[in-house]
Amino acid sequence: MVLARGGSAIDAAIAANAALGVVEPMMNGIGGDLFVIHRDGKTGKITGLNASGWAPKALTADAIKKSGHWSMPGDGIHSVTVPGCVDGWEKLHKKFGKLPWSDLFQPAIHYARHGFPVTELIQGAWQGSHGKLDADKNGRRVYLKDGRAPRVGDIFRNPELASALQLLAKDGANAFYRGPIARSILATSKRLGGTLSDADLAEFQSEWVEPISTDYRGWKVFELPPNGQGMAALEMLNIMERHPIGDFEAFSAAALHHKIEAQKLAYTDLNRYVGDPKFGPVPVAELISKAYAKKRAALIDPEKASCSVSAGDALSGGGDTIYMSAVDKDGNVVSLIQSIYLSFGSGIVVDDFGFHLHNRGALFTLEPGHANELKPRKRPFHTIIPGYMERDNLHVGFGIMGGLNQAQAHAQYVSYIVDHGFNIQAAMEAPRFTKLNFSGCDVMLEDRFPAASQEALRGKGHYPQIQGPFSSWMGGGQAVMHDSRNKVNHGASDPRKDGAAVPEPDPYWGETSAVRGASK
């Protein structure tokens, strides 16, 4: 294990992320984007990294329309933006890493070359994407051996991906953005009529960003600023704070009603305002202010659901993903989320290197003047967000996957801990709701909410859509917590996924102890 060898939390996260790109290729990999929140154990400083890529310079609305589309395509070469993951890894390692860069890729290279057994959840997602894989010649060749997805327990090998990872281990991000992997990405794009250029790759840089935060009943909760949806989690919490949710039973209709109504208000603002701030102002400070939350919270009727919610006036004068968290012996905490967006991304496997390019460009709109309108070198609205919260000696890195589910799941997770006193594992297991659109009174609920709560919600005008007890619609998450007073680390893993909270081995042979949580 990376931590047992003296690696930092960032080393552990990069190594785990690289390995997950091999064993869970429909969800993540080097062809995708990356966001991270990092807490420095010595200084307490919270740092953010936005490693989401931009649209090619030649990818315009006119180019999309000339290709036969009148809206952004959901897959194919025109849904591809520059993958930011590898550059993000390199920047994180240079700033926070301890082990040699090349060491971090050895587990992933091993699994790609020698194979791994396919598990049930991964096999189901693989089989469900048969059509997308079959539509791409490289996808058929690499991922549909003998014309089918691997079965549960089959050993799957990807020697082409092993070659790509070996190049990264040897030459770093340069191999991906300027070297042999870049040349194959560009050749693949050209063969399919895409617009990617060598400059689009070579000039890309991920960015260090200042996390945004709010105080929620004494806990400070951090998210990353746009182009992601973290702002909506903070706005939702601020609205919830205006109501005595802690006075309600955790799974009651009263608690649920206020959370659902807060979600609607925050998400209408998310839909209206959030895009790449380099291309137009995003009123983040206003949207996450307590004064704005007071105005928005006043719109909630405690006895009646609102089926039509409008965005507020906040101007001055929202998939398939992996999430992991890690904490080391020094109290460094990493909250990391990485994705190729929809299952197997764009459906395009890069020539000779066996990995998919993501389809994050699908989240652009062609609507003129919209905050998320497609523009050259612009980053699309992003659904994937890492979370972090702390109070006194407790420092929690957490995240929950699932497209537009994420911000509302973050707010529910925080509320279970803060309002209801759950520990980080109980809060992860607790039933959740989700609403994946921007209007109406429909809401998906796990069936573990009491029948009386479900019925009471109907009485308030909600239309509950009841899902299974641990529904994939609610996403899956992981969390770690560092207790800086007692020097104890904790881990939590969501039963909705097949991840685990994995402790570093006890120091029988002189090593120190830590905990790492990783998700598949």
Catalytic residue among 268, 321, 383, 434: 321
**What order of strands is seen across the sheet that includes strand 488-493?**
212-216, 219-223, 387-391, 394-400, 477-483, 488-493
Residue (of 424, 379, 419) closest to 399 by Cα position: 424
* Contact yes or no for 24/520 (Cβ under 8 A): yes
Q: What is the DSSP string of 184-228?
A: HHHHHHHHTT----HHHHHT---EEEPPEEEEETTEEEEEPPTTB
* Contact yes or no for 6/58 (Cβ under 8 A): no
CA distance 145 to 267: 42
* Contact yes or no for 36/88 (Cβ under 8 A): yes
CA distance 482 to 28: 27
Taking residue 422's Cβ as centre, other Cβ atoms within 10 Å add up to 17
Query: Dihedral (C-alpha) 61, 75, 359, 179: value to the nearest 10 degrees?
Result: -90
User: What's the one-letter identity of residue 414?
Assistant: V
What is the bridge-based pairing of β-strands 488-493 and 477-483? antiparallel
Residue (of 48, 387, 331) closest to 210 by Cα position: 48
Residue (of 406, 423, 412) closest to 483 by Cα position: 423
Q: Which residues pair with 36 in a beta bridge?
A: 49, 336
* Contact yes or no for 176/105 (Cβ under 8 A): no
DSSP conformation class of 365: B
Q: b/e per residue, 133-146, with b = 16+ CB within 10 A?
A: bbebebbeebbbee
- The burial of 423, by beta-carbon neighbours within 10 Å (0-12 exposed, 13-18 middle, 19 or more buried), is given as middle
Compute φ and ψ for 507, nearest 5 degrees: -80, 55
365 a catalytic residue: no
- The burial of 219, by beta-carbon neighbours within 10 Å (0-12 exposed, 13-18 middle, 19 or more buried), is given as middle
Which structure tokens are listed for 102? 């090349």
Q: What angle do CA 20, 24, 27 make, to 5 degrees?
A: 100
Cα dist. 218→88, 427, 520 in Å? 32, 18, 32
CA distance 351 to 311: 44
Residues serving a catalytic function are: 321
